Amino acid sequence: MSEPDKTQADMIAIDWGTTNCRASLLATDGRELDTRRAPEGAGGLQSSEFEAVFERLVDGWPDLPVWICGMAGSRQGWREAPYLSCPAKLADLGCQITRVTTASGRTVRIVPGLLYRDLRNNSDIMRGEETQIAGLLAKQDDFSGLVILPGTHCKWVEIQDGMVLRFQTFLTGELYSLLATASILRHSVSAHEADIPADHPAFLEGFLDVTSGRVPLVAGLFQIRTQDVLNGAQKDDSAARLSGLMIGAEFEAAKSGGWLEGTQDSFIIGGRGLTPLYEKACELVGIKSQSVFGLDASTKGLWYLAHRQKITAG
Amino acid sequence: MSEPDKTQADMIAIDWGTTNCRASLLATDGRELDTRRAPEGAGGLQSSEFEAVFERLVDGWPDLPVWICGMAGSRQGWREAPYLSCPAKLADLGCQITRVTTASGRTVRIVPGLLYRDLRNNSDIMRGEETQIAGLLAKQDDFSGLVILPGTHCKWVEIQDGMVLRFQTFLTGELYSLLATASILRHSVSAHEADIPADHPAFLEGFLDVTSGRVPLVAGLFQIRTQDVLNGAQKDDSAARLSGLMIGAEFEAAKSGGWLEGTQDSFIIGGRGLTPLYEKACELVGIKSQSVFGLDASTKGLWYLAHRQKITAG
């Protein structure tokens, strides 16, 4: 990569999650001029340690507005950026930021997470995903529809005219990973859900077994082990079935939560591995979906929030 | 304990599971004259290592018939004792044993596990639990009804006139343990499911939330974390709710598998921790249950199999 033309630079966007951190130097039009990564995720840092990691990360970059999303804004993060309650207009997230000024004089803006409380007083929270969704609005700021963000803690989010009405978190990715690496199934299943082809017959069968009600999730898990003990199943086939069961249980729960009613437009924001599995799952329940790559989405989201902010403040 | 009167001794019964091993010297009437434990579970031993552990365990005990149940009979165990297919008469397990003669001249009898294949060709297996159930028959050899064996891999078993008709395994205990110790919930939940009082309101509420269909299991998990982040929930309360959700999902799956239809008599065979939770769960779905302590059950089961065998063999 040739030296970026920093004279065009306009802002610094940082997605600081639990396990890693990625900073981008953005041009006025949102193009990435330069990108750097740090291995220090927010999950492994004390509050007092964030500033040093940050200064190393942006060292040599111009003194521009810095926008951060993700777990760096949690109570155990750099500085707590309090949750905004739903319904919440995504474009307004940029007006509710928490500021930190570093010893070197840089001003850092941390984006708030979102909180949703349902009628039964059950709560749900997100931090980082709200900015990825804001990235969608950079292109279409009156977007209405369903957004699914697959991952360790998958989120289903209902948007109306650029406003988050409600959302729900499913532990699907974390459960898959625990079962595949730490349970009795680890002997029978390959660990990388991201490598499963979305048209794998065992994925489809597992998904349909659960969503049709034929096999409840908790009944289907031990069968994977039994098939292997008795018939020597392939680890990749067993992994595909496990993923089908897990994502099937998520879609089944989403259905009972009213998430599939009248759904028309939907976006999937995620990594390159899980997204095709969720696209296939959407197709199987009759939802038309488009996909967006997650890291691009959070960078675009920070750019969108920063510029809406400028316009609003203008 | 005073020196046991070995002249009354009649057989040696060994429950050799994945993580530990327990040997009992039994009198003709089934009383335990002496009991020893070894920390070497079958899961950590090579086939060639079992004999030395066994000889140390029974050293000094008289040369009597030795009966073993559990994972020592698996393919990775001491010697594979092939599965018997259901329907299987429990009293006949003793006629299908696998014999091993040790270098010291002792003859060891390993009890087979059971295999069940349903109409859709899904299979399930057990190894060890069949002997615990046989322990019930020592008192009532024409028993008919449902037996639930809570644990890492909970088994539901249908018995008719002392015959195992079918069974189904649920990963409930293992899932609880993984979620409580290795997932995001570990920050919010205490790890010892066995310490949860069966009348804990959060256990009851979690159970009823899932079995009523109000909260699907995969939707209820992250809420436990959220309640803690937002409201600072007690770890014991969160553990009780998690256990209620998990056992609720098991009972819900059992219901859809036809396990709750026309159920009258039922036994729970398990440890002192989980059994009260399953008793309460049975009560909540209208099943009358009696409980039996698991370790006693396997010793009694081996005694029963050995003596039925003697009677049958004339």
Query: Cα separation of A217 and A211, whole Å?
Result: 10
Smallest Cβ distance to B170: which of A122, A175, A219? A219
* Residue A20 reports pLDDT greater than 90: no
B94-B95-B100-B102 Cα dihedral, nearest 10 degrees: 60
Which of B84, B122, B208, B218 is the best substitution to test chain A (most A C-beta atoms within 10 A)?
A: B218
| Alpha-carbon span B137 to B149, nearest angstrom | 15
Query: Containing H/E element for A276?
Result: helix A274-284
Mutate to test the interface with B, among A171, A176, A259 (most CBs of B within 10 A): A171
Do residues B134 and B93 lie in contact, with contact meaning Cβ atoms separated by under 8 Å?
yes
Are the Cβ atoms of A253 and B184 closer than 8 angstroms?
no
Residue A275's identity, in one-letter code, is T
Class of domain B6-141+295-313: alpha beta
Nearest to A216 among B169, B175, B252 (CB): B252
Residue A34: C-alpha distances to residues A24, A25, A55 (Å): 6, 5, 16
What is this structure's pTM?
0.90
Q: Residue A93 phi/psi, 5° resolution? A: -55, -35
* pLDDT beyond 60 at A305: yes
The full DSSP string for chain A is: -PPP-GGGEEEEEEEE-SS-EEEEEEETTS-EEEEEEES--GGG--GGGHHHHHHHHHTTS-S--EEEESGGGSTTSSS--PPEESSEEGGGGGGS-EEEE-TTS-EEEE---EEEE-TT--EEEESSHHHHHHHHHTT-TT--EEEEE-STTEEEEEEETTEEEEEEEE-HHHHHHHHHHHSGGGGTS-S-GGGS-TT-HHHHHHHHHHHTTSS-HHHHHHHHHHHHHHH---HHHHHHHHHHHHHHHHHHHHHHTTTTTT--EEEEEE-TTHHHHHHHHHHHTT-EEEEEEHHHHHHHHHHHHHHHHHHHH-
Mean pLDDT of B247-269: 90
Residue extents of the structural domains in chain A: 6-142+296-313, 172-292
**Do A218 and B249 count as a contact with CB atoms less than 8 A apart?**
yes
Which stretches of chain B are DSSP H helices?
Answer: 50-58, 129-137, 172-182, 201-211, 217-231, 235-256, 274-284, 294-313
In DSSP terms, A110 is beta-bridged to A68, A98
C-alpha A288/C-alpha A282 separation (Å) is: 7
* A256/B216 CB distance under 8 A: yes
User: Percent of chain A, pLDDT > 90?
Assistant: 77
- Whether residue B87 is preceded by a cis peptide bond, meaning omega within 30 degrees of 0, is yes
Measured between beta carbons, the chain A residues lying within 8 angstroms of B179 are 175, 178
Q: Do A219 and B168 touch (CB under 8 A)?
A: yes
* B contact test, residue of A114, A149, A218, A227 with most B CBs within 10 A: A218
Give the model's pLDDT for residue A247.
98
Residues of B in contact with A206 (CB under 8 A): none
Buried b (16+ CB within 10 A) or exposed e, B89-102: ebbbbbeebbebee
Q: What is the CATH number of domain A6-142+296-313?
A: 3.30.420.300
Average the pLDDT over A40-44 and give the result.
Answer: 91
Please tell me the CATH code under which domain A172-292 is placed.
Answer: 3.30.420.310
- CB contact under 8 Å between B174 and A168, yes or no, is no
The answer to whether domain A6-142+296-313 and domain A172-292 are alike in fold is yes
pLDDT over 90 (residue A233): no
Whole-number pLDDT of residue A265: 78
Whether B277 shows a pLDDT value over 70: the answer reads: yes
pLDDT (tens digit, 9 = 90+) per residue, B205-234? 999 999 999 999 999 999 999 999 888 889
Q: Residue A313: its pLDDT value, please?
A: 42
Look at residue B239 and tell me whether its pLDDT is greater than 70.
yes
pLDDT value of residue A314: 34
Alpha-carbon distance A115 to nearest alpha carbon in chain B (angstroms): 9
- Asked if the interface predicted TM-score (ipTM) of this complex is over 0.85, the answer is yes
Q: What is the predicted pLDDT for the residue at A310?
A: 56
Least confident of A217-226, B121-130, B133-142: B133-142
Phi, psi of A270, deg, nearest 5: -170, -170
Q: Is it the case that residue A211 has pLDDT exceeding 60? A: yes
Q: What is the DSSP pairing of strand B145-149 with strand B154-160?
A: antiparallel
pLDDT above 80 for A124: yes
